[in-house]
């Protein structure tokens, strides 16, 4: 039975991937912090998942877990993944995201050099309009560092290391601080009469929003390629935060204009105006395509909150 080790298994992507791999007959192991801050940890209730204590900031724990599990695939999903929070905790973000990837790659090089490694790279690395990477946040800078380390371990040590550059992907398991989940929760609170307004930051920002389970399936396919090649995963369509809010309120039969307020405290020192990706190579090489359109993502997220 093939074995996978997933860091960030209590998060959105890790939990979906664990479920998909179990369904495919994999043995699934996950790294968990003693003090997990996760919004949602559905994976803890799945009995077949083997959880191991550890932290991306603690190299001995990573080395021990890789030695014990001897994984075929390692998925590095763990991160301080909030761009907004990274401005307030820039060095902790670098420790987990940049150095953490380095520690896990090193643990693999020492203890499981035949394994295949997936690094969760991000569209935030692009930072906007200039070609190539132009990180606009401590989070993005840390992800660029990790991305280059992944390439370095592949090229210099011959390890099977792949970085997936994933654009935003959402679901009812999205962390509560991210804008799509904040909007979905805000709509539900207003619909139930528990709140009268929803405060948001930059309404003009445009993102390429996809469906998280589709995206983790792409990550798995990347490790099943014959050779390690990085891929971009996106829908190719962007929408504004304002547009997301309008559709989300409409799902509950409400008008966003009545309830959405902008709050300067939610603006970032720097924000990326628009991110939209081109996944045509992934379509050709991996046979991957997004399955859930924008309106349906919004509807599923709002309905999940209304039902909660």
Which residues are near ligand NDP by CB under 6 A? 7-8, 10-14, 31, 33, 36-38, 55-57, 77-81, 96, 120, 122, 166, 168-169, 175
Per partner kind, with CB cut-offs from 5 to 8 A, the member of ligand GDR, ligand NDP, none near residue 36 is ligand NDP
Binders of ligand GDR among residues 13 to 72 (CB under 6 A) are none
Could you tell me the smallest distance in angstroms from the CB atom of residue 215 to ligand NDP?
7
Closest residue by Cα to residue 31 from 47, 18, 45:
18
Active site residues: 122, 124, 139
Between helices 294-307 and 241-251, what is the axis angle to 10°?
50
Decide if 127 contacts 140 (C-beta within 8 A): yes
Measured distance CA(69)–CA(136) in Å, rounded:
37
CB of 271 to ligand NDP, least distance (A): 16
- Report the residue number, 105 or 166, with the smaller CB distance to ligand GDR: 166
Q: Of the candidates 202, 229, 236, 254, which one interacts with ligand GDR according to CB under 6 A?
A: 202
Given ligand NDP, ligand GDR, none, residue 182, with its beta carbon under 5 to 8 Å by kind, binds: ligand GDR
205 interacts with ligand GDR by CB under 6 A: yes
Which CB, 55 or 214, lies closer to ligand NDP?
55
Closest-CA residue to 113 (of 157, 56, 162): 157
Cα(224)–Cα(229) distance, rounded to whole angstroms?
A: 10
Q: Where are the alpha helices (DSSP H) in 10-95?
A: 12-23, 59-69, 83-88, 90-93
**Rounded-to-integer distance, Cα 102 and Cα 152, Å:** 10
- Check binding of 147 to ligand GDR (CB under 6 A): no
What is the closest distance, in whole angstroms, from the C-beta atom of residue 50 to ligand NDP in the complex?
A: 15
Element (H, E) at 162: strand 160-166
Pairing mode, strands 239-240 and 206-207: antiparallel
Gap between the Cα atoms of 235 and 293, Å rounded: 8
Please work out the total of residues on this chain that contact ligand GDR, with binding judged by CB under 6 A.
22
Strand order in the sheet with 27-32: 50-53, 27-32, 3-7, 73-76, 116-122, 160-166, 231-233
User: Binding partner of residue 201 among ligand GDR, ligand NDP, none, CB under 5 to 8 Å per kind?
Assistant: ligand GDR
Q: Does 182 bind ligand GDR (CB under 6 A)?
A: yes
Using CB under 6 A, which of 38, 123, 171, 238 touches ligand GDR? 123
Q: By rule CB under 6 A, what string of x and - marks binding of each residue 82-121 to ligand GDR?
A: -xx-------------------------------------
* Residue choice 10, 15, 76, 168 for contact with ligand GDR (CB under 6 A): 168
Q: How far is the CB of 216 from ligand NDP (least distance, A)?
A: 8
Q: Verify binding: residue 81, ligand GDR, rule CB under 6 A.
A: yes
**Beta strands 3-7 and 73-76: pairing type?**
parallel
* 37 CB neighbour count, 10 Å cutoff: 8
Minimum distance between the CB of residue 209 and ligand GDR, rounded to whole angstroms?
9
Distances in Å between the Cα of 165 and the Cα atoms of 135, 145, 168 are 14, 13, 10
Nearest distance, CB of residue 79 and ligand NDP, angstroms: 3
Instruction: Answer yes or no: are the C-beta atoms of 204 and 240 closer than 8 Å.
Output: yes
Q: Which residues bind ligand GDR (CB under 6 A)?
A: 81, 83-84, 122-124, 167-168, 177-180, 182, 200-202, 205, 207, 241, 266, 268, 271
């Amino acid at each position: 039975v093939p074995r996978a080790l997933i860091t960030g298994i209590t998060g959105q992507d890790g939990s979906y991937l664990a479920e998909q791999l179990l369904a495919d007959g994999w043995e699934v192991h996950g790294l968990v912090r003693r003090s997990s801050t996760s919004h949602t940890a559905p994976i803890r209730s799945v009995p077949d998942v083997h959880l191991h204590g550890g932290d991306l900031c603690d190299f001995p724990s990573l080395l021990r877990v890789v030695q014990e599990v001897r994984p075929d695939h390692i998925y590095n999903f763990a991160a301080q993944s909030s761009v907004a929070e990274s401005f307030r905790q820039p060095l902790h973000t670098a420790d987990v995201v940049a150095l953490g990837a380095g520690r896990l790659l090193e643990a693999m090089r020492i203890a499981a050099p035949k394994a295949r490694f997936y690094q969760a790279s991000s569209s935030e690395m692009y930072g906007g309009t200039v070609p190539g990477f132009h990180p606009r946040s401590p989070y993005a800078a840390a992800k660029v560092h990790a991305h280059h380390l992944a390439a370095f371990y592949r090229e210099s040590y011959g390890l099977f290391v792949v970085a997936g550059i994933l654009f935003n992907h959402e679901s009812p398991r999205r962390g509560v601080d991210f804008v799509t989940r904040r909007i979905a929760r805000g709509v539900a609170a207003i619909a139930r009469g528990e709140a009268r307004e929803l405060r948001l930051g930059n309404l003009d920002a445009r993102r390429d929003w996809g469906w998280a389970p589709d995206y983790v399936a792409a990550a798995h396919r990347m490790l099943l390629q014959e050779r390690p090649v990085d891929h971009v995963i996106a829908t190719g369509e962007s929408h504004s935060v304002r547009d997301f809010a309008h559709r989300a309120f409409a799902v509950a039969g409400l008008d966003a204009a009545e309830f959405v307020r902008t709050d300067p405290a939610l603006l970032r020192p720097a924000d990326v105006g628009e991110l939209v990706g081109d996944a045509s190579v992934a379509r050709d090489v991996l046979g991957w395509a997004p399955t859930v359109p924008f309106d349906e993502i919004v509807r599923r997220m709002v309905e999940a909150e209304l039902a909660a």
